[in-house]
Amino acid sequence: MPPERFEEVLEAPQWQMLDEANRVARDMFLGRTVWNVNSTAVGGGVAEMLQSLLAYARGAGVETRWLVIEGEPEFFALTKRLHHHLHGSSGDGGPLGTAEHELYERVTNANADAMRELVRPGDIVLLHDPQTAGMARGLEGTGAHLLWRSHIGLDTPNAAVRAAWEFLLPYVTRAEAFIFTRRVYVPPQLADADVSIIPPSIDVFSQKNQAMTEAQVLSILMTTGILEGTPPGEPTYTHHDGRSDHVRRRAVMDEEVRLTAEDPLVVQVSRWDPLKDPVGVMRGFADHVAPLDPRARLLLAGPSPEGVTDDPEGALVLEQVRAARLALPGDIRARVHLASLPMNDRSENAAIVNAVQRHATVIVQKSLAEGFGLTVAEAMWKRRAVVAPRLGGIDDQIQDGVNGVLLDDPSDLAAFGAAVVGLLEDPRRAALIGDAAHERVRSQFLGSRHLIQYLALFGRLVRSDGHHH
């Protein structure tokens, strides 16, 4: 994709920096490839970021590629366990012992072996997250620069976090440089290593974030069955290459009565994951929002569980959410709606999420743990007032009361309810916060900034090569 697209959303000095960086990159990476390796092509923020950053890098004339590792279900169950540990919880409670090391090494070594044939000296290999860390060992000796990027972490590490690092450190330390999203996520063992802090970013031209008219939003939501009514226009969205397309599939709705376009709507969009606390959002709404605002409705939206391959828990959590909803008193239950969004087509799914966020009155992201929380930036870009806990990268994005509302304790449902009701009752304040939120993302969390930071790091490594192709 042409990097020139950024010119329409950046201030002139920001655009000039990006343009200059792209020129430098073209020369520097001549004859080299930048490889990205992660665990899934769909679902999750890492896959979404790669999708767009690679396209802009290629548009700037840099040869960059993306590989997805393969492994059996036991391997992904283990890496999900590591993921939970890095967030401070024990996940499925399973062990991280000798057998797990053997499984982990077998899968990551097989992937590294397959990759060895592709990599050339002077290339850059960026391994993403715990699933790929074990590949560094198998890629030593290729003459490529090996980097490992962790997208997750916990502000105050506990025993679970330390156990995960103990498991991962023998593998990650084979890398030459490291990237974390926040300084506090760097384990003490890497304190003296080559560490860069690069926060993630959103792609404002993607199907999930692109501008939409009110008619487009309503048409998409009515076509999917999330809102009642006849679409006022075509449910269209635009692909990366400029092609227009239509949303066709319907969401699976759990509800007693249909939502209308007029209902004030509190929305959380996230994976069906215990760390996103969908049941807590529902209880907070039922106990502390619904009684105070008789019109407000709650919509919890997430991916249809069969569509996300690397997340075996999704279906289980959705069942828990459904059960919790059915346990609500009838009058409250009628105001709580669940949407499982179709995942058959990734672009269509993203367009639906975009429409849901743009239609929301208030967006919440009541996570119990969050590495960075790009869903917050996505909602802020859409000029929405977001209520979220002061956790992880959310604290880097929202300035409380200025461009969002921060909660000191995500488990305090009364405080959560009060924050939501405060925004529902004061639309003018919500709109001001939403405008400030948009500006914050434009200045800090766009892909242009991300690319410039990557280039500075890669450039430093490449210049140390002492040889040119």
Give the model's pLDDT for residue 392.
86
Is the pLDDT assigned to residue 324 strictly greater than 70?
A: yes
- Residues with Cβ within 8 Å of 36's Cβ and at least 6 positions away in sequence, in order, are 50, 54, 64, 65, 66, 67, 126, 128
Could you tell me the fold of the domain covering 214-444?
Answer: Rossmann fold (3.40.50)
Which SS3 state, helix, strand or coil, does residue 86 take? helix
Predicted pLDDT of residue 97: 95
Tens of pLDDT, residue by residue over 252-307, are 999 999 999 999 999 999 999 999 999 999 999 999 999 999 999 999 999 998 75
**Which residues of the chain does CATH 3.40.50.2000 include?**
3-201+446-463, 214-444
Give 371 or 125, the one with higher predicted confidence. Answer: 125
Residues 6+ apart with CB under 8 A from 362: 265, 266, 267, 384, 385, 386, 387, 420, 423, 424, 430
**Over 80: is that where the pLDDT of 408 sits?**
yes
pLDDT in tens, 20-31: 999 999 999 999
Q: State the fold for domain 3-201+446-463.
A: Rossmann fold (3.40.50)
What whole-number distance in Å separates Cα of residue 86 and Cα of residue 138? 24
The predicted structure's pLDDT at residue 154: 83
Higher pLDDT, 445 or 314: 445
Structural tokens at position 328: 């609500």
The pLDDT of 210-216, averaged and rounded, is 97
β-strand partners of 35 = 65, 125
Give the integer Cα–Cα distance in Å for 28 and 362.
Answer: 45
Query: If you average pLDDT over every residue of the chain, what do you get?
Result: 94
Q: What phi, psi does 157 have (nearest 5°)?
A: -60, 140
